[in-house]
């Protein structure tokens, strides 16, 4: 009985660790791309919905670090992103992520 309980707890822990993938981050931020590249002057509502949803999913340190790494690499995968707009996006959507959105952030220090 105890062994089964430990296995279930381990499975739940692993599920929490892999709760957010970079594909999920990209999908959540897809409505933001035109704004992040610059041709759109205001943040689209669908963008903030994705930012808020992503922030709500990043509810543990390992998941926040994973999301941080995905955000850090986003400019490499989607050319033309304005770094200033990217760093200000959480604030514009009324979200505090607790770390700067930047290619220079050390995601291992995100808590």
Sequence-distant (6+) residues with CB within 8 A of 18 are: none
- Helices 45-57 and 61-77 sit at what angle, rounded to 10 degrees? 140
Show the tokens assigned to 42: 């205001």
Q: How far apart are the first and last CA of the chain?
A: 34
Local confidence band at 38 (pLDDT 50, 70, 90 cut-offs): confident
Instruction: Tell me if 101 sits within 8 A of 44, measured CB to CB.
Output: no
DSSP percent split of the chain into helix, strand, coil, nearest 5: 70, 0, 30
Local confidence band at 19 (pLDDT 50, 70, 90 cut-offs): confident
**pTM metric for this prediction:** 0.78
Structural domains of the chain, ranges and CATH numbers in brackets: 2-109 (1.10.110.10)
């Amino acid at each position: 009985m105890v062994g089964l309980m430990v296995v279930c707890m381990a499975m739940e822990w692993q599920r929490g660790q892999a709760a957010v993938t970079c594909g999920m981050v990209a999908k959540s931020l897809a409505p933001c791309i035109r704004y992040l590249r610059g041709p759109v002057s205001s943040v689209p509502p669908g963008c903030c919905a994705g930012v808020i949803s992503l922030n709500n999913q990043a509810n543990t340190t390992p998941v926040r670090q994973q999301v941080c790494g995905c955000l850090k690499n986003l400019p490499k995968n989607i050319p033309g992103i304005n770094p200033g707009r990217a760093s200000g996006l959480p604030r514009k959507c009324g979200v505090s992520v607790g770390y700067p959105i930047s290619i220079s952030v050390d995601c291992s220090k995100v808590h």
